[in-house]
Structure 1
Amino acid sequence: MHTLELAEALQAAGLDVTVIAMGEPGSLFRKVAVPVEMIATPPAKNTLEERVFGWIDALTAGLARLRDSFDIVHSQDCISARAAARVRDAGARFRLVRTVHHVDDFTTQALMDCQRNAILEPDRVLVVSKTWQERLRVEYGVDSSIVTNGVRSEAFANMLTPQRRAELRRQIGTKDRFLYLTIGGVEPRKGTEFLVRALAQLKAERADPPVLAIIGGHSFQDYRDYREQVLTSLWPLGLELGKDVVLLQTLPQTELVEWLAAADGFVFPSIKEGWGLVIMEAASAGLPVVASDIDVFREFLVHDRDAILTETSNPASLARGMARLMDEPHTVERLVKNGLEMAARHSWDRTADQHIRIYNRVIEEEMQASTLLNGAFSTT
């Protein structure tokens, strides 16, 4: 989402932009208003380490064919950053900019070294929050510039008819039960285990327990063991899959927007995020938000004003926060109003302007370096 929205905003501002992605032609989750170059993915591998290095090799070959097409290559992840650095170091003239959204907790030395190099090798490093700016400085010795995320609020405005809303809720048997939505699938970083335990507490305490619908689940990393652990825990917790917890899987953008409009509240108890883009999307859809109190979220959310922030990894605290949306209509009204205003302050146009200023500085530095280098050659 970040890549596509930023690309379109940059093009609207007058830049010549191409999105480069891995996959089959037409496999992006939505149509894009900029040119797209798709690079075929390599054959599937068994281990994460094999997949990562296989993708780096494939993307390196694909970028090498396009090496003279760009002044700047802007990478959004460690795989594309390593591939682009290889092509640049082989003689391509583009400058490499990398946005570090977050740092993964890899367990093998090869992947940890790969991730470190993907942070050290770019010509300019960006982050989306003060939290990650400080972490990169302390843990990697890298200075970075903050460029915050954006949201296209109008794309999430609630245009759902009452009939369509009722139809969607009927599909998962929600009826009149409070429907909580979360996005990101079942994975450790999203705090799913704490979320289902909070849901179980609410079910045990209330005659009107909420339903939880989970959107997403597609990930480059393999979270099958964690997913199985969480889903297996539902029955002992008193929860029923398909009734109390519904898995909606990965959806096209149009359907995701519809589900945001069909829900009553949004819950996002992540234990690690780069920013929390889906929170702004939910707020743009007019949903009150309950989230964890990680530092990143506190950079753009104020507790009890923009969202209810609960203690990270604490199911009891999360359950209390979720209950408030069910019991306090005045709180819901306040959160919806302030959430819409918060999202409106973070447009992609604003984010694009920040990027353009940085791109210009990168190009200017390259020109100055080239002038100095030419001068040195002529002197000798």
Structure 2
Amino acid sequence: MSYRGRVGLLTYSTKPRGGVVHTLALAEALVAAGVDVHIFALGGEDGAFFRDTQVPFTLFPAPSGIDSLEEKVFASVDSIATGLAGVVDEFDLFHSQDCISARAATRIRDEKAGPPVLRTVHHVDDFTTPALIDCQRKAIIEPDHLLVVSEQWRGILREEYGVTADVVRNGVDPSRFPPVTAQRRAELRASVGAEDRFLFISVGGIEPRKGSKTLFEALGLLRDRGLRPVLVVLGGHSFQDYEAYRREALAMLPDLGLELGTDVIGVGTVSEDVLGAWYRSADALAFPSVKEGFGLVALEGLAAGLPVVASDLPVFREFLTDGRDALLPAVGEPTALADALERVMTDERLRSTLVAGGHTVLPSFTWSASAARHAEIYQAVRPI
């Protein structure tokens, strides 16, 4: 079904974080299904998202020059709320993808008689100050309807916040990862010294949630076993400041027998086409997260035809099966992760099995199916 109302999709950033990737893909699928969608986000001076989109969007000023996370969060809420106040009468519902835009949308709903607010909870941030913890709690309990992308998070919200949510799965678009030429593949691999070395990529930057320290420790164990893969770390833009963790993680490398720039190479945030080329040029994806709302990167790895080494998180087990379409070593265990990475490096038959298994997972995760389910929920929340 389609939805005849006008939907404002809200996100906190224009950078390629999971929730923003989700927002753009969902918006495009909704538009393809005939839904009138407009995206609102906090943006920078470039005035654009990390990739092109034909869906109309408006960017509100992102706060700058603020060091305190608490002040940054509340300034961001204020910026989105101020922007939405001017368009509140033009929409039938607002659908938020994060804590910040949810607080802004519910404020406008309450102060300006705005439309109902839906919120997709991708995960719950590890805030530490009382004000931010309260802000996050209100961003979960105040919206009119909640969505999650996994059964695990539906259970967490029920048990920890006493709220109910509908599960609407993510999707993945394999066309984002087209094959690259042999020359392009060779150029990328040569740029990181991986001409004749096994190349792992990790997407999401160096962060606690991504299990980066565990991954580095596992690489050190592989070196002790005589194996020397290259790890390229892509991405890393985050609303929260993980610089201290990043410094600590990189400081571990010398003691692990690893060299920054030779064994571990940070590429940072790249354009959509370059990201796709890295996926297509690597030998495997290393994604040993310790916490995820879903783990869209794992699906992207499958879509790009890569063997995936993730972790034994309950959320991963909802769509991955160890040994069939991914390897899922114990969470936060360097030795178990090293064993899994070694298996992928040394067993060509296993790599082929995982890639083939990954192809069987993909049909269950399409953005068109996700959009159709969203449209049904929109109609239930705000009948048009």
Q: TM-score, normalised by structure 1?
A: 0.94
CA distance in 2 between partners of 1:117 and 1:317 (Å): 38
The one of 86, 98, 122 equivalent to 1:77 is 98
Per the alignment, residue 292 of structure 1 pairs with: 311
CA distance in 2 between partners of 1:180 and 1:26 (Å): 33
Does the CA contact (< 8 Å) of 1:180 and 1:211 recur in 2? yes
SS of structure 2 residue aligned to 1:304: coil
Per the alignment, residue 43 of structure 2 pairs with: 23
Per the alignment, residue 200 of structure 1 pairs with: 220
The one of 182, 185, 192 equivalent to 1:172 is 192
Does the CA contact (< 8 Å) of 2:287 and 2:310 recur in 1? yes
SS of structure 2 residue aligned to 1:279: helix
CA distance in 1 between partners of 2:176 and 2:242 (Å): 30
* Aligned-residue offset at 1:137: 0.3
**Partner AA of 1:113 in structure 2:** D
The one of 294, 297, 313 equivalent to 1:275 is 294
* Aligned-residue offset at 1:281: 0.7
* Aligned-residue offset at 1:44: 2.3
Does the CA contact (< 8 Å) of 2:85 and 2:112 recur in 1? no
CA distance in 2 between partners of 1:168 and 1:282 (Å): 17
CA distance in 1 between partners of 2:89 and 2:330 (Å): 49
**Partner AA of 1:144 in structure 2:** A
User: Runs of 5+ in structure 1 lacking a partner?
Assistant: 368-380
Deviations 1:143-163 (A, max 9, x none): 000001100112223x21111
**2:147 pairs with 1:102:** no
The one of 138, 142, 152 equivalent to 1:117 is 138
* Aligned-residue offset at 1:12: 0.3
* Aligned-residue offset at 1:105: 1.4
SS of structure 2 residue aligned to 1:99: strand
Per the alignment, residue 88 of structure 2 pairs with: 67
Per the alignment, residue 265 of structure 1 pairs with: 284
CA distance in 1 between partners of 2:54 and 2:365 (Å): 21
Does the CA contact (< 8 Å) of 1:153 and 1:344 recur in 2? no
**Partner AA of 1:178 in structure 2:** F
Per the alignment, residue 338 of structure 2 pairs with: 319
SS of structure 1 residue aligned to 2:255: coil
CA distance in 2 between partners of 1:331 and 1:43 (Å): 48
User: Runs of 5+ in structure 2 lacking a partner?
Assistant: 1-20
Does the CA contact (< 8 Å) of 1:75 and 1:97 recur in 2? yes
* Aligned-residue offset at 1:31: 0.4
Per the alignment, residue 10 of structure 2 pairs with: none
* Aligned-residue offset at 1:305: 0.5
CA distance in 2 between partners of 1:218 and 1:211 (Å): 22
The one of 227, 231, 243 equivalent to 1:224 is 243
CA distance in 1 between partners of 2:47 and 2:68 (Å): 27
**Partner AA of 1:266 in structure 2:** L
Deviations 1:347-380 (A, max 9, x none): 100100110110010013xx8xxxxxxxxxxxxx
Aligned residue runs from structure 1 range 1-380, under 5 A? 1-24=21-44, 26-157=47-178, 159-206=179-226, 208-364=227-383
Deviations 1:79-110 (A, max 9, x none): 00000000000133311000000011111100
SS of structure 2 residue aligned to 1:222: coil
Does the CA contact (< 8 Å) of 2:123 and 2:293 recur in 1? yes
**Equivalences, count:** 363
Per the alignment, residue 378 of structure 1 pairs with: none
Does the CA contact (< 8 Å) of 2:310 and 2:327 recur in 1? yes
SS of structure 1 residue aligned to 2:37: coil
Per the alignment, residue 7 of structure 2 pairs with: none
CA distance in 1 between partners of 2:126 and 2:114 (Å): 33
* Aligned-residue offset at 1:341: 2.0
CA distance in 1 between partners of 2:150 and 2:349 (Å): 31
Larger Rg belongs to: 1
* Aligned-residue offset at 1:286: 0.4
Report which stretch shifted further, 22-31 or 52-61.
Answer: 22-31
Runs (4 or more) in structure 1 with deviation over 2 Å come to 24-27
**Partner AA of 1:6 in structure 2:** L
SS of structure 1 residue aligned to 2:238: coil
**Partner AA of 1:311 in structure 2:** A
Matched-pair identity in %: 50
**Partner AA of 1:299 in structure 2:** E
CA distance in 1 between partners of 2:79 and 2:65 (Å): 12
Deviations 1:219-258 (A, max 9, x none): 1101010000001111111100000000010011110000
**Partner AA of 1:85 in structure 2:** T
